[in-house]
Structure 1
Amino acid sequence: MHVLTEQELHNLAMNIVGKQLEEEGFEFLAVNSELRKNPQFVCTKDKKMRFVVVKAIEYPGDPKEMDLFMSDLTKMKDHAIKFEATTFYAGVGLVNAADHNLPVYLDEEYLVDYDGLIEI
């Protein structure tokens, strides 16, 4: 069994958020999947630019808890102001479906805790 790496969890979270953005009619200007390189998505909708910072959070972490990333998010928000963009945080909780105490494995079921974008 292959435990998903931090990069693989990040990519999974980005796929979940990217699909939501696409379904909501966002147009992607840039996508960055490199860990700790923000934002992950630069997109537009209704002629407004949006920066989206995506974080994969493994159980028992709380994907709605932004405190751990506040310095990153503050830098992003300052950067976004220069581009007249709005900044959003997308925390995606991921947990092994069979046993919450086990890591997320490749090709095994997992649960997602994601409530959408949070404006910062």
Structure 2
Amino acid sequence: MTTLSEQELHNLAMNIVGKHLEADGFEFLSVNSTLKKNPQFVCLKEKVLHFVVVKAIAYPNDPNDLDMNTLIKMKDHAEKFEALTYYAGVGLVNAKDHKLPVYLNEDYIVDYDGLVKI
């Protein structure tokens, strides 16, 4: 079994959030999948610019625990562009055994509550 790398988990989280944004009517202006390079999505909705920071969180960590230092820096940056800032934490866990990592081509559980405005 192949364990998903940190980058692969990040990409999976981005896909989950990206589908949510698309379904909610956001238009993508920029997508950045580089780890630790924020924001991941720069979007437009109703003529308002949005910066979205996506973070994949492995179980047992809580996807709703915010890294406020990073997010405040991103918010300050976004305000220069008159953009709103959001955090999207995506919890990922092995569906068969929560003690195991997420494996390629194996079932997993997603814990995602949507966007959190910063």
Q: TM-score range by the shorter chain?
A: over 0.9
The TM-score with structure 2 as length reference comes to 0.99
Corresponding position of 1:40: 40
* Cα distance between partner residues in 1 of 2:74 and 2:29: 16
> Equivalent pairs: percent with the same residue?
72
Corresponding position of 2:82: 84
* Cα distance between partner residues in 2 of 1:37 and 1:104: 23
* Cα distance between partner residues in 2 of 1:79 and 1:55: 18
Give the length in aligned residue pairs: 118
Q: What letter is aligned with 2:68?
A: M
- CA shift for structure 1 position 71: 1.4
* Cα distance between partner residues in 1 of 2:53 and 2:46: 20
- For the aligned residue pairs, the C-alpha RMSD in angstroms reads 0.4
What secondary structure, in the 3-state scheme, does the structure 2 residue paired with 1:35 have? coil
Q: Which runs of 5+ in 1 are unaligned?
A: none
What secondary structure, in the 3-state scheme, does the structure 2 residue paired with 1:90 have? strand
Which residue, out of 96, 99, 117, partners 2:97? 99
* Cα distance between partner residues in 1 of 2:90 and 2:61: 10
* Cα distance between partner residues in 1 of 2:115 and 2:39: 13
Q: Which runs of 5+ in 2 are unaligned?
A: none
Corresponding position of 1:17: 17
Runs of 4+ deviating beyond 4 Å: none
